[in-house]
Amino acid sequence: MKQLITILLTFIFWTSINSYAQEHNHDNNEMDHSNHEMDNVKITLQEGSVDPNGILLTVAVEGMVCDFCAQAIQKVFLKKEEVAGITVDLDNQNVVIALKEDTNITDNVIEDLFINAGYNVSEINRQKL
Amino acid sequence: MLIKIFLLSILLFNSVCFARPVSYPEGWTFMTKNDSEMNSAHLHYSPTFNKSVGYKIEYSKSKEYTVHTIHYNHLIKRWNKKHSQANFYTKKGIGVLHSDYRSYESKLKYAGYFGVSADWETRKYFTSYENKIFSAGKIDSYFSQKVKIGIAPYIGNYGDIHTWLMFEASHSPEKKDSITYSPIVRFFYKTHLMEIGMNNNKKLSFNYIKRF
């Protein structure tokens, strides 16, 4: 019983530290991530960068519930030559993919890449930068 | 002892922190599971998102044997929803058992196992079930099953440290103490997952998973 109480106390201690660390992480992430101002729209990517003359894809994805999902999607897309950068947004269940200038990936290919990574696509939006 | 557990927890929590038997295409996964009965380590490679093959070593503390197997996981079906995911897997392994136990000392025996597992999770709730039938002839054969439920006290985004409070019930009909319960704390940070728990017999368990 004492050991259980110790684990619980450790958990509470750790959760407190974690909450504090996360607040700082968010602050740092906003500074560390690749930030781009385009037409007054601030685009922040977790990996890679935004090509100012490329295409920005916003893909609504089903089944993303954890960081392993996010990591899988990032790994799959960052292998593609056309991809300049990527962000996985678990809060909004979407993935933002920045394509390089003069490159494109069709909706069918995007959908296949997600399916082959284990996820489903419900919507794809494109924005020419 | 209490101080040791506390310090160990802090140390581990600071360096590590989910658990699917398959990875993304061409991904590698290392996992180790340790409790009062068994220690195991498993390295697997996923050629596709729904299959993985690898090497697994298990050591039984009470029966003093080591099992080396080629382990194969197959994601039979995945259900993706906007805010949830559910999976159904089969797990199987075949290999050899090497025993140091009493009259079975230095004996080698073919061994194999088969099991199914299912899970459903959102970013807030988690539930899973898994079972396993193991056979190595006279040396050891058993059936076991586990149910696990969990809740995340807060929801973090990608890259945050995620925490889960879980409860696991294990059933092993062949054992004297056939049903055990464990509160478990799970930490999940990027590609690291760690679980630490203690069952109703006050036995600690520790699991760790790393994806590459």
Tokens describing residue B139: 């040396």
Name every chain A residue with its beta carbon within 8 A of the beta carbon of B85: 63-65, 69
Q: Are A34 and A45 in contact (CB under 8 A)?
A: yes
A4 inside 8 A of chain B by CB? yes
Name every chain B residue with its beta carbon within 8 A of the beta carbon of A68: 18, 20, 23, 191, 211
Q: Do the Cβ atoms of B83 and A65 come within 8 Å?
A: yes
Rg (CA), chain B: 17
Q: Are B143 and B115 in contact (CB under 8 A)?
A: no
Q: Are A57 and A126 in contact (CB under 8 A)?
A: yes
Name every chain B residue with its beta carbon within 8 A of the beta carbon of A62: 80-82
State mean pLDDT over B8-32: 63
Q: What is the DSSP letter of B124?
A: S
Q: What is the pLDDT along chain A (129 residues), one digit of tens a residue?
A: 455 555 555 655 555 555 444 444 444 444 344 455 555 456 678 888 888 889 999 999 999 988 888 888 998 999 999 999 999 998 889 999 999 999 999 999 999 999 999 999 999 999 888
Pick B25's closest partner by Cβ from A64, A88, A117: A117
Model pLDDT for residues A52-76, shown as the tens digit of each residue: 889 999 999 999 988 888 888 998 9
Assign residue B3 a region (left: φ > 0; alpha: ψ between -120 and 50; beta: otherwise). Answer: alpha
Q: Do the Cβ atoms of A67 and B84 come within 8 Å?
A: no
Name every chain A residue with its beta carbon within 8 A of the beta carbon of B185: 7, 11
Name every chain B residue with its beta carbon within 8 A of the beta carbon of A9: 6
- The residues in B 109-168 lying below 8 A from A, measured between CB atoms, are 121-123, 153-163, 165
pLDDT score for B17: 31
Rounded (10°) CA dihedral B23, B28, B29, B30 = 170
